Structure 1
Amino acid sequence: MTTPPARYHPAPVMSYLSINTSLDSKTSGDPDQEEIQRLNKVIEWPEPPSGVDFMSSTSPKTTYYVLLHPHDTYYIGHRINVVISARDHYDRPKTYGGDYFEAKLHSPNLKAGVTGAVTDHGNGSYSATFLLLWPGDAQVHISLVHSSEAVSVLSRKRESRPDKIHFNGYFSYDGSSAIVQCNVQPPGPDVCTYQDLLSKEEWFCIRPKGFPCSSYQEHSGGNRHPILNATEQQFLQRSVTDQMISSTLKKISILPQNSSTDDRSVCRPGLPIPDPSGYYYQDVWQSRVCRNRQFPTPSSVTSCLKGKVVYMFGDSTLRQWWEYLVDFVPSLQRLDLHVSYAPGPLLATDAEHGYLVQWRAHERPLSMKRTRVQELQYIANQLDGIGGGDDGLVIVINCMAHFVSLPVRFYLQRIRNIRNSVHRLLQRSPNTTVIIKSGNTGFLYDHGSDWLSLQLDTLMRATFSGLPVTLLDAWQMTSCHYLPKGIHPKEIIVKNMVDTMLSFICSR
């Protein structure tokens, strides 16, 4: 897989295109540590000056943008550029970068949309570039997700306060029970430590008095803890988070080109991902990676999946894909495995067409309903337990949302373990189809911001760069749709994601 261009270019950070994350790179020191250092470098972000007060931070009300080089006529295939001028609450121009903007060009009437590429010039000005891809009207939409000052708060709290969210551990022993706090690092002085033998990842629970550590039976999500002081809360209040910025720019009208050719290739692993990776038109995702298809009927889905074994590993945003398939295809029947629904595992089979689709949640940290600890397994271990075989095996993976509030090192450990297991699986079973779902946009609260999601999504893309896998760009598919953003997108978006997945499974 060729890593796509970054959708956001903060200055003066290097693009991760220039960083070699190949599994075969030769290093003079510890290869693991050198790779971790390279990966951490791809998410460096400009820091604002220290001591900036709220009124001197970037304001969505005074920040504006203008169109560069306007034309009377626009055609499909052309690009337009806008310049964003960041200003503070006093309406003074900013002199440094680091703000996080999201940009899209869209047409709710045509149910069309495409993501814009934002570049930070490091001096308070930004540019956003949009590729014109459909005939008809279009309008620019740019929102200030976070000021640079808010990003600084998020970054500090991510690394220094992993306790901002805790998890519940349920212990049962000799007729007694206890509920304690658990987390990725010790939540107290006296803890039970649980280390996975293969991945070496660790999990900690406060040791209940009188209970052996082996009596840890169940897990669930816990509570959020307030971690912001009054000053920090100002930078992350709703009125300045993900707010549209103003412009005098009106709708533009796009004309078709006289001739056009579809030069996209057949959908297959390892294809380069352009920026933008696709766009919506009439509520249908048109991939720019390859010739994706629609699967409008249950029979078209069953024809694709016949004889396949599809294993899905991830979080609830991937469970939505499983649920869509079960709801859409009458012959695909769910089997009751007598487990908690939220974390699964969930299994559906189609005996008539000879295929199955399974989803199960990844291991802790996991903010889901109460479930048995034994039901939660590491994706890497699951993959190492799959023998492989013919080309009927499909693996779909996502892992991101439950890590956004935690220090980056925990996500890096998890995603590198998964990457290494994928590498081993493809070595013994090269015909296996592996699809990696990127993260969704839609996190808008202080413990789970879209900026935090972008950081992990960038790391994931860099980590899998070089492997013959498919990266399905859910980030752009959720960021440019006309519907309001949410971490769990609406069915029309899920349908387009599933259709894109099926396009890679059944490209021939």
Structure 2
Amino acid sequence: MVFSRCLFKVLGFFFIITFVVQMMIKWRITDRRIPKPKPLKNKQISRSPVQTNGTQIPMSPLPGNQETISTPSGLSKDEEIMMASHYFKYRPTNQRKLYSLTYDCPGCKNPCRTFSTSQAMDCEGRACLIDCSSPIYNHTVPSDNTYLIKTQLLDAEKLTLHDEQITIKTRLPDISKLKLELLNVDGGLSVGEMIKLKLVIHDGSGKVLKRGGDDVRVSIVQNKMRIAGRFTDYNNGTYLVTVPALWNGTSTIFVVIPYYREETSTLFRWFRTFNSIFYHYGDFSNGKLRQSTLCMAGPNITGYGKVCHFSAAHNGGQPWFCGHPKSKHLGCKDFSGTGDYRFTDIGATHAEMKLFRRKCTNIGRTREVKVNVKGKEIIKTTLTLCKDIEPVKTWDLSSPTGYFNTESNYVSTQCKMRALTTDQTRTCIKNTIIYLSGDSTTLQWYKALRQFSNCKQINASFVTGKWYEKVTCVVKGWNFTLKWVPHAMPFSFFDVNKSEINETSDRSLTDVLNGIPDKGRYIFILHIFAHYTRVRYHIFRDKVRAMLPALREALKRNKELQVVVKSPHIYYCEKWVPCVNDFMGRHLITILHQEMKEFIHQIKYLDYWDMSVSTANANLHAGGDFIWKMIQLMIDHTCKIQF
């Protein structure tokens, strides 16, 4: 009897323990209140070096040089998904003071001060957009963008996904404590060799920050001679910096870190957790009634229960959404146009704004070291002419792609450039139709070529200020036509009623490529950059993917068609760093290399990022001399005439 009682108690205790354990496991898997996971430690990241080109692509687009990221061990698949979801959500908190992105920004206008706003159903025009008490602007509305998990994440974002938010306790790099050591110490430096330096990142206390992911930019300068370099990220705070020694004498090597790893992580988080860091407006009108709403390239527009989908009707098939107007007398059919509004007043901590509150990304972020090189200049004479170089070789960014010589002329290291005279340049563009697609930076090309050729404007009265409509000019005696076509939204402005814009409905790259006939000499300059630095990179990836079928058919249809990719370029000083910066440029370059692998044997890639790094270009809209050097490189590659 005693044995039976003991056995019963033991079995009962066993069943209770089993039940408790099962419930704990079930809670651990299903409960959504999982605490914020700890950041990945360095030992969880592959230590294999990541070769990057000094054109500052932290994640090189070249095969075999991708970052390897490990995931936290010991977690179930469900926990992995929930942990990933955590990083795509924004949850407001009252425990920290928040600042607007445009806080203290010279020249940035606060939408609440610019417009008299109202939430009333009978509001008029821009007054309907938003008011200052709106939760969109006081950071009290949570956002959930977990749908982005299904998009293809860049390795650069994966590296920072588990980083904690910057606080006053965050250990940050100190440029004054940065260690830059020349490794070529035995025998000195000679022309033709690679100069190597060891770069180690330290915090304010002098301790090494054992993580990678900083945006490192390198160049070597001697008077007017200059060239960009390369770097290798070892993911432990150490970088190998390399620059070629092309000339003798004393030169200065500049190392710039415009975005620390912590800033990169913050920018990725802002793009990932908030719907947008920049909004457009949409106008709706019916008779005298006119109202405006917020617009963006995604359907999750905070503050609107209903949205209007204009992708097919007004944006060349590219995603574009606007909030539904408040009035019951207005609907999506009353849409009349869209345009730039303002940067989103998303919340940033005091520590974040203290770090980002800069006018130029290179000020206070530059270190330099002088080197002395001996020997005679080596001139390569065996290079293939740029007009004859295989397109695939122009996609190779493993080494610097060009430099400026003593006369401030740009010299390609990939091929031999011809010193084309003015008459030869005119001969090159005769019997040609050039399409310049993109934004205001290709409009600069249009203005320069228009002035050079003295072509006559035929479809609009061109003005010298901001311009948002497609334009065409011709030189009948040369049989030369020059066209500039702005890409679809996100752009600066679009008016449904503008005949100049809707004349051929080419509001997308797909429309333009589909309109190229099967005969005739065409040069198509493909450029998508500036406006896509204000949106998350998956929108850029979708844009490129949507264009590829039309590109494939155009190249197949017209054997004389030449397509040239105009790469992004750097700019260090553009109004206000938190809002306008070149951070996204290097990641867009990576996407271009990933998505256009099919075409690298057919179209050429012109590396203007490298060119602009060597000159430390300051502005998004570069100066006239720099613009013409960019154009000269393009003409030299596309002009097949033998002089």
User: Counterpart of 1:277?
Assistant: 401
Going from structure 1 to structure 2, the CA distance change for 1:315 and 1:251 (only over 3 Å counts) comes to same
Q: 1:443 to 1:258 in 2, by over 3 A?
A: closer
Which one of 164, 169, 183 corresponds to residue 50 of structure 1? Answer: 164
AA aligned opposite 1:50: E
Q: Secondary structure at the match of 2:448?
A: helix
- Could you give the per-residue CA deviations for residues 19-62 of structure 1, whole angstroms, max 9, x where no partner exists? 99xxxxxxxxxxxxxxx999644545533753664551112222
The corresponding residue for 2:487 is 362
TM-score (norm 2): 0.69
Q: Which residue in 2 is equivalent to 1:451?
A: 583
The whole-number CA distance in structure 2 between the counterparts of 1:142 and 1:170 is 46
Q: Aligned ranges for residues 294-305 of structure 1 at < 5 Å?
A: 294-297=419-422, 299-305=423-429
Question: Hey, what does 1:412 align to over in structure 2?
Answer: 541
CA distance 1:75–1:324, change in 2 (3 Å): farther
Query: Equivalent residue of 1:404, what SS?
Result: helix
| C-alpha distance after superposition, 1:291-347 (max 9, x if no partner) | 2234442x33221111101111101111111111112233x2333525886122121
Aligned residue number for residue 612 of structure 2: 478
- Give distance in 2, aligned partners of 1:99 and 1:335: 48
Aligned pairs (5 A) from 1:18-57: 18=64, 40-41=153-154, 43-44=156-157, 46-47=159-160, 49-50=163-164, 53-54=167-168, 56-57=171-172
- Residues in 2 aligned to 1:248 and 1:410: alpha-carbon distance in whole angstroms: 37
CA–CA distance in structure 1, aligned partners of residues 619 and 553 of structure 2: 35
Q: CA deviation at 1:116?
A: 0.9
The letter of the residue matching 2:545 is R
Code of the residue aligned with 1:333 in structure 2: it is: K
Shift in CA distance, 45/75, structure 1 to aligned 2, threshold 3 Å:
farther
Q: Hey, what's the Cα distance between the residues in 1 that align with 2:471 and 2:359?
A: 40
Per-residue deviation, 1:426:
0.6
Q: In 2 relative to 1, CA 396–163 (structure 1 residues): closer, same or farther, beyond 3 Å?
A: same
Partners in 1 of 2:191 and 2:356 — Cα distance?
38
Aligned-pair CA distance for 1:389: 1.2
Q: Is residue 386 from structure 1 mapped to residue 501 from structure 2 by the alignment?
A: no
Query: Aligned partner of 2:442: which letter?
Result: L
Match 2:460 to one of 330, 337, 348: 337
**Structural mapping, 1:253-272, within 5 Å:** 253=373, 255-257=375-377, 260-268=380-388, 270-272=391-393
Find the partner of 1:131 among 244, 250, 274.
244
Q: What are the residue-to-residue correspondences of 1:179-194 with 2, within 5 Å?
A: 179-186=292-299, 187=301, 188-194=304-310
C-alpha distance after superposition, 1:348-383 (max 9, x if no partner): 111221101110110000135878575470111221
Matches within 5 A, 1:4-403: 6-7=53-54, 16-18=62-64, 40-41=153-154, 43-44=156-157, 46-47=159-160, 49-50=163-164, 53-54=167-168, 56-70=171-185, 74-107=189-222, 109=223, 111-186=224-299, 187=301, 188-196=304-312, 200-208=317-325, 209=327, 210-227=329-346, 228-238=348-358, 241-243=361-363, 249-253=369-373, 255-257=375-377, 260-268=380-388, 270-272=391-393, 273-274=396-397, 275-281=399-405, 282-297=407-422, 299-330=423-454, 332-338=455-461, 342-368=467-493, 374-375=501-502, 377-390=507-520, 392-403=521-532
User: Residues 570 and 613 of structure 2 are in contact (CA less than 8 Å); yes or no, is this contact kept in structure 1?
Assistant: yes
CA contact 1:142–1:244 (8 Å) conserved in 2: no
Asked if structure 2 preserves the Cα contact closer than 8 Å seen for 1:308 and 1:354, the reply is yes
The 2-side partners of 1:434 and 1:68 are apart by 42
**Residue 405 of structure 1: how far off its partner (Å):** 2.4
Which stretch shifts more, 435-444 or 303-312?
435-444
Query: Match for 2:595: what amino acid?
Result: T
Alpha-carbon distance in structure 2 between the residues aligned to 1:182 and 1:248: 44
Question: CA separation in 2, counterparts of 1:8 and 1:138?
Answer: 19
Contact 1:386 1:425 in 2 (8 A): yes
More deviation, 237-246/208-217: 237-246
Greater shift in the superposed pair: 364-373 or 450-459: 364-373
Q: Answer whether contact 2:403 2:412 (CA < 8 A) is retained.
A: yes
The unaligned stretches of length 5 or more in structure 2 are: 1-50, 67-148
CA distance in 2, matches of 1:182, 1:136: 55
Separation of aligned partners in 2, 1:359 and 1:240: 30
- Partner in structure 1 of residue 603 of structure 2: 469
What's the counterpart of residue 460 of structure 1? 592
* Cα distance between partner residues in 2 of 1:38 and 1:412: 10
Superposed displacement of residue 89, structure 1: 2.0
After TM superposition, give the deviation of residue 135 of structure 1 in Å: 4.6
For 2:488, the aligned partner's letter is E
Identity %: 18
Question: Which deviates more, 344-353 or 491-500?
Answer: 344-353
Q: What amino acid is aligned across from residue 460 of structure 2 in structure 1?
A: L
- Say which structure is richer in strand: 1
What is the TM-score when the length of structure 1 is the normalising length? 0.86
Structure 1 spans left out of the alignment, 5+ residues: 21-35
Say which is worse superposed, 342-351 or 186-195, in terms of deviation: 186-195
Q: Pick closer, same or farther for the CA change 1:360–1:45 going to 2, 3 Å.
A: same
- Quick check: which has more Rg, 1 or 2? 2
When structure 1 is superposed on structure 2, of 130-139 and 484-493 the one drifting more is 130-139
Structure number with the bigger relative contact order (C-alpha 8 A, sep ≥ 6) is: 1
Alpha-carbon offset, residue 78 of structure 1? 1.4
